[in-house]
Structure 1
Amino acid sequence: MSSEKIAAEQRTEFGKGAARRIRRADKIPAVVYGHGIDPIHLTLPGHQTMLALRHGGANALLELDIDGSNQLALTKHVQVDPIRRVIEHVDFVAVKRGEKVTVDVPVHVVGEAAPETLVVTENATVTLEAEATHIPEQIEVSVEGAEAGTQVQASDLDLPKGSTLVTEGDVLVVNVTAALTAEQLDAELSEAEAEAGIEKDEADDAEADADADASDDASEDSDSE
């Protein structure tokens, strides 16, 4: 994984008001943690940072130019506005070249399994230890021609050179099962509908009992008067 170089500005203003002003200027507030240093509060160029994070994926590595000094920073958390889908804040961890880091890497399934099968991704990520500058963007799992009953565990994954598996080896990553027939699907839907009907009847009965209890209490209050 190559690093994207970004010119960063140190900031001394904090809080929601300062963050809003930064965003209005099409910039992004960020913090770099790690290596026994005090957190470094930064302002990053909005569009360039967005492109770098999108290109780098879940574990984007940025080379931050902070007042003429370069700092490698691994993305740990990106806060995105749920409505406008713009980046509001980024947390980084400081890393060094050659340093080993532990990261969660996405699993990407490729290929077509055998007919009448269903491919289920049981774990969408696996945890690896890798050099900070050589973090794989994803781990590919091929299910080409895989028959029902095929299971891919974490220990079966083909890892890039220099990466070590941290996830337990017997963790199920991809499971290929037999696809449901139309009859089986109809049976499952009918069973689900029947269970939903039973739950509704029980809820209606409980509501009726509650109304009856309330009516009885009202009658007792009236008699006592």
Structure 2
Amino acid sequence: MTVLLKVKERAVRPRSLKRELRKAGQIPAVVYGNNVVNTAISVDEKELMKALKENGQNAVYTLDIDGKKVPTLIFAQQQDTFNRAWLHVEFLAVDMDEKTELEAELVLKGTPAGVKVGGVLGQNLYTVIVSATPDKLPERVEVDVTALNIGEALTVADISKNADYTIMTEADEQIAVVLEAVDHEAEENEVAAEVTPEVIGEKKES
């Protein structure tokens, strides 16, 4: 999916300009990569947030820089620690015919058979690296866990093949596992039964 974003070139000095841009609703950014000289730009915050909500972070964002169209991917971003607002964005210019690698979210689908009989589902891996041409990069990869019984696990090798992209994460990485539920109350009762408290003042047998 390709999304058009209008951006503006910006000055990089003085540093206070970044703060002024943010106050004006603009996010300082930079674009570099395929046939593009490293260029400082700014992008409208509301426009970018709307595009992200509708299309996801792995969409192709075509930047309109003074009439020049540059296909890019969002390579990295800096966010505020407290309110998670975007403070800076790095756009990577790409060749639409060349494969690239990005992270995609792992989403577990379904209720495991083991959970239906009292087991607990645990997820160990939340993202995978995928390789594809920019227009085929997925935002998320779904994994069906319905067949998992207690004591069974899924690894990256179990992800269904997709013609659009290739999973680059190590095949033996564990994604999810169904474990037997632990009865903490029963454990506490068992421990209490094993421990006989000593009564102060009680006469011990010699």
Query: What TM-score results when the alignment is normalised by the length of structure 2?
Result: 0.82
Could you tell me how far 1:115 is from its partner in structure 2? 2.6
Cα distance between partner residues in 1 of 2:187 and 2:13: 55
Q: Which residue does 1:214 correspond to in 2?
A: none
C-alpha contact 2:59 2:135 (8 A) present in aligned 1: no
Note the C-alpha offset of 1:135. 0.7
- Equivalent in 154, 157, 180 of residue 156 of structure 2: 154
Match of 1:164 in 2: 166
Cα distance in 2 for residues equivalent to 1:120 and 1:148: 11
The alpha carbon displacement at 1:58 in A equals 4.1
Structure 2: tracts of 5 or more residues without a match: 193-206
Inter-CA distance 185–135: structure 2 relative to 1 (3 Å threshold)? farther
> 1:28 and 2:27 equivalent?
yes
- When the two chains are superposed, the root-mean-square deviation of aligned CA atoms in Å is 2.3
Report the Cα distance in structure 1 between the residues aligned to 2:96 and 2:153, rounded to whole angstroms.
Answer: 36
Give TM-score scaled by structure 1 length: 0.76
Asked if residue 118 in structure 1 is aligned to residue 117 in structure 2, the reply is: no
SS of structure 1 residue aligned to 2:27: strand
For residue 129 of structure 1, report the CA deviation from its aligned partner.
0.8
Aligned to 2:97: 98
Describe the SS at the equivalent of 1:175.
Answer: strand
Q: Is the 8 A contact 1:58 1:105 kept in 2?
A: no
How much has 1:83 moved relative to structure 2?
2.6
Q: Which amino acid aligns with 2:175?
A: V
1:159 Cα deviation from its structure 2 partner: 3.8
Q: After superposition, where does 1:53-202 map in structure 2 within 5 Å?
A: 53-113=52-112, 114-183=116-185, 186=188
Mean alpha-carbon deviation: is it higher for 6-15 or for 88-97?
6-15
Deviation at 1:92, TM superposition (A): 1.5
More helix by share: 1
Where in structure 1 are there 5+ consecutive unaligned residues?
A: 191-225
Pair 164,184 (structure 1): closer, same or farther in 2 beyond 3 Å:
farther
Shift in CA distance, 117/77, structure 1 to aligned 2, threshold 3 Å: same
| SS of alignment partner, residue 19 of structure 2 | helix
Aligned residues: 189
Contact kept, 8 Å, 1:50 with 1:87, in 2: the verdict is no
Q: Which residue of 2 aligns with 1:46?
A: 45
| More deviation, 49-58/17-26 | 49-58
- SS state at 2:106 partner: strand
1:38, CA displacement in angstroms?
2.6
Q: How far did 1:84 drift?
A: 3.4
